[in-house]
Structure 1
């Protein structure tokens, strides 16, 4: 369970630390940020374009992004907090420099965003770092996914592929959770997961039951805060319920082996059926179907053995509704 903090810390280290601590308290396995080398990542025109509105943290898009970006001091502090509270600390890398930054930091895994699924040079560069990779697959088709997987796996076998829809928030009809089945069938050498931008937590239970073993959800302290991600993020109580629900789902999935639980026997006796004599029958009588009734309780010869009884003779006389058992037959 990855708690995707992203930039919901709003550029404040204290808020980021609280998010890491709350993610751990809710039972998440990891807290995740997003790392960008903004000057290298964006064209000058995009960096300088006006960016105003409720979700803006600066007058231009570049200023907005810089206001939300943490450096090495903040990352090392948050990695220490994560270690203190017992969860992993990871991040998405949006460019080559950010891959180097995270490798030098010593993160246990690197995430690659949906927008970089076709950025094969960056995926290969990250794969060569030799640590596990997680890739999201929003805004892609299966050809895009296979191309990315085929580029990574020969270099790095530790790969998770997450079904994702790049709509914020994602409506139920757009989730396409059945893709998880497709990934499990067609990508047998990867771990399959789900990165959800929906507003619910139940969707993640369905994803887990379909085979997703990495779940990623955006995380915030307050959905009402300004910023592009807060409104579809989970607050701490919801994240805690999601983690608890995933544990329940694992329990509910149980074993793939179909077998009887001995505790089911009382119910089976009451609801099950057995074979009994339809009327008093004399010794030596050859049994026909008209001589046999199927009645409860289910504590005798089960009805599926009827064809082994019809046509055989009785070694002893039977009263009406007496059990017909194989040891009584010639």
Structure 2
């Protein structure tokens, strides 16, 4: 499997998982709130914060705007769809301001690209990689355009069949870009557990031989942590400082405590995965003396006697003749007397074989 350089980190193989705090539109158009969320992501230990580079003109059709003018959920939707998009869109100046703030806070700025204009803006900002949202996995013209920027691409696979994923990968590779990371994703917010199918990560890995991660829309931290345990090289999770804030995604986002758990526990899980090579550490070898068993004299053994199986029991410690060695000890002469209940060592026995 190839590795991919995402700028501050290399993902794939045995490298630590790259944790992306997906702020998306959770800034609610308020740059002070946006900076507060970035600060919380830094405090929690995230590797990157991600936004979404779309505008009123590049994402939604006029017909869709006209159809969505009123919503029952006033907390999630404060007005018409057009009004919300205008409020939540990330302007070019806001891109630049927030990227500079991320640089000051030493966290990677990245964004999902939804148009050629957005790709050009992100290119101008010298982002370390592009993110392609699940909705655009079949947007082959956009995939081709972004791939020709010759930067790594993280591609989410929600809603996509294997044939569509293969088509997307081939489109990117045909444009000369081999630096692809696929994210298994379920585009339901939040999904039921029987829809998550984390084993799909292995399917993608086998099919495309690229680093594979997980874009998470579940509640809590158990599922993304399980994804890391199954080898996810990147984990992307929606993030907010307050799930009770008004807006599209706050309620299904992780809070600072959950993100910190994902980061810290994820690193421990990754470290604990270790190697496929079976080995016994020196620490475990040292424990053998304490935990394993040895031949123990069930009665006092006198010098000159022949050692018999009925004369011994196997108990701790493991400093003497081990159970799997006893067949080589049985029948030998006792050369040094052994008290009842004491460990039998090789030096208690003759070295010239059985009688």
Residue of 209, 218, 224 corresponding to 2:229: 209
Q: Per-residue deviation at 1:278?
A: 5.5
Q: Per-residue deviation at 1:37?
A: 3.9
Name the CA distance, whole Å, in 1 between partners of 2:276 and 2:65: 53
Residue of 252, 258, 279 corresponding to 1:232: 252
Residue of structure 2 equivalent to 1:2: 20
Q: Scaled by the length of structure 1, what TM-score is found? A: 0.87
Residue of 178, 181, 188 corresponding to 2:202: 181
Q: Per-residue deviation at 1:48?
A: 2.8
Deviates more, 1:207-216 or 1:142-151: 142-151
Residue 195 in structure 1 maps to residue 239 in structure 2? no
Residue of 167, 184, 191 corresponding to 1:147: 167
Q: Per-residue deviation at 1:141?
A: 2.9
Residue of 12, 31, 38 corresponding to 2:56: 38
Residue of structure 1 equivalent to 2:324: 304
Name the CA distance, whole Å, in 1 between partners of 2:162 and 2:254: 29
Deviates more, 1:41-50 or 1:8-17: 41-50
CA contact (8 A) 1:276 1:324 kept: no
Question: Does the residue aligned with 2:154 lie in a helix, a strand or coil?
Answer: strand
Classify 1:306/1:201 alpha carbon distance in 2 versus 1 (closer, same or farther; 3 Å).
same
CA contact (8 A) 1:114 1:137 kept: yes
Structure 1: which 5+ residue stretches go unaligned? none
Name the CA distance, whole Å, in 2 between partners of 1:251 and 1:6: 29
Question: Does the residue aligned with 1:328 lie in a helix, a strand or coil?
Answer: coil
Residue of 316, 320, 329 corresponding to 2:335: 316
CA contact (8 A) 1:208 1:246 kept: yes
Classify 1:294/1:163 alpha carbon distance in 2 versus 1 (closer, same or farther; 3 Å).
same
After TM superposition, list the pairs within 5 Å mapping 1:91-102 onto structure 2.
Answer: 91-102=111-122
Deviates more, 1:253-262 or 1:139-148: 253-262
Q: Per-residue deviation at 1:289?
A: 4.5
After TM superposition, list the pairs within 5 Å mapping 1:242-321 onto structure 2.
Answer: 242-264=262-284, 267-276=287-296, 280=301, 283=304, 285=306, 289-290=309-310, 292-310=312-330, 313-314=332-333, 316=335, 319=338
Deviates more, 1:270-279 or 1:206-215: 270-279
Superposed CA deviations along residues 202-233 of structure 1, whole A, max 9, x for unmatched, are 22221111101211111112211222211111
Structure 2: which 5+ residue stretches go unaligned? 1-18
Classify 1:191/1:272 alpha carbon distance in 2 versus 1 (closer, same or farther; 3 Å).
same
Deviates more, 1:258-267 or 1:50-59: 258-267
Deviates more, 1:66-75 or 1:45-54: 45-54
CA contact (8 A) 2:302 2:334 kept: no
Residue 328 in structure 1 maps to residue 350 in structure 2? yes
Residue 74 in structure 1 maps to residue 74 in structure 2? no
